[in-house]
Amino acid sequence: MRRWWRFSAIDVDTLSWLTSSLVTIWVSIVVALHGIVSITAGGQAGGSITTQVLALVLLVAAGVLIHVGSRPYRGRLGAALSIAVFVLTGLGVLVSAAGLRGEAVVPELWWASLAAALIAMSLAPFVPGRVFLPGMIGLSVCTILGALSATGGEGVRLPVAAALTASSPVLFAIIGGSVLTGVMIADVERWRGLVGDARVKDEQEEPVLAILERVTAGAWSQRMQPFLQSIAAAEEVSDRDRRRAAALADELRRALVDRDAQSWLSAIVAEWPVHVDDPHRLAGTITVDQRSAITALITGLFSDPDAGVFGARLRLAAAGDDAVAVAVTVSLDLPEGRRTTVLAPYYLSVKSVVRRIEWRNGESLVVSFDVDAEGQR
């Protein structure tokens, strides 16, 4: 509640329906309708209907003042305007009570008390607790004094109890307004804390701009970023700027696509001692199934520690029918010494999915795969 004392709900959550100025104008309409019905048909006109109409005008004016002061373009509803709202509301209650003096109004039906409570509740989201609470205390005093006058006619046995009953809507508004806005502020602050925690990045995570700079080999900071800044500063965009933007966008797209295509090979290199030779950047043309075949092949080579494989070279080359040929060279640590072996066949056309890879007693490598073109195993 410490935050509620210093800040209003609109300071914390400006998009809430509760802090919309449309809510306050509807409160003014409800107050006007309730007052008119109570005065004309509810038997609360008192000795002079003019007095009740004046009280109704003051209360509706207080609601309209909140609506005007809470408009988005006006900024924060200040303390002076808030005090004016409390003064108008208190005067409206006292004027209504003066017109009903000696009438012994039913405490639960006094229209001015309910109208004051509605206005107070509509003001609560727009002012901090340090303004709302003192103002509500003053309004409560006015309501209790007015209730003593409006409900204290002849024959009333418990005038104090009747006055408290008549002023109970305003007393409840103190609790409701304080708790509602306080809980709202606390929940929004807690939610923002959760969002902030979710956005905390790992210290080792590379910033996006750094990735763009690295992927584009410096083109981002040297050409792309200055171009975007010049576009932002220019009054209009020319056809030349559009052509330049299209060229830079295509360059950035190709760089990012190349990086994505190489990422699966980078994962292999990061896990196993494999050197990748892809001078023509063919990795981007390999399908997911084909990538799985190569990954399974490399995994099978290094999965058995007794096999003696301590290194491998993976070379990608273009083959017929837009296929990609793969050569795998393996470095073995055998009893007779270290040897370099090229898996047969020398180039494996990656059109298949490897079904099974295993070493047999560390002496031979068994690779099972399906060939799409031949339909053989």
Select, from the ranges 132-136, 161-165, 246-250, 358-362, the one with the highest average predicted confidence (pLDDT): 132-136
Q: How confident is the model at residue 347 (pLDDT cuts 50, 70, 90)?
A: very low
**Residue 326 to residue 295: CA distance in whole angstroms:** 12
Structure tokens at 348: 């494996």
* 364 vs 375, higher pLDDT: 364
CB 112 within 8 A of CB 57: no
- Per-residue model confidence as pLDDT tens digits over 1-55: 567 777 787 777 765 655 566 778 888 999 999 999 988 888 888 778 899 999 9
Question: Comparing 348 with 91, which gets the higher pLDDT?
Answer: 91
| pLDDT tens digits for range 254-313 | 766 666 555 566 666 666 777 777 777 777 677 666 777 777 777 777 776 666 777 777
Whether the pLDDT of residue 128 is over 80: the answer is yes
pLDDT score at 351: 45
Does residue 168 sit in helix, strand or coil? helix
Give strand pairing partners of 315.
277, 327
Place of tokens 């980078």: 266
- For the chain, the first-to-last Cα distance in angstroms comes to 74
pLDDT tens-digit profile of 171-227?
999 988 888 888 888 887 777 666 545 444 444 444 666 666 666 666 667 777 788
At residue 348 the predicted structure's pLDDT band, cuts being 50, 70 and 90, is very low
| pTM for the model | 0.50
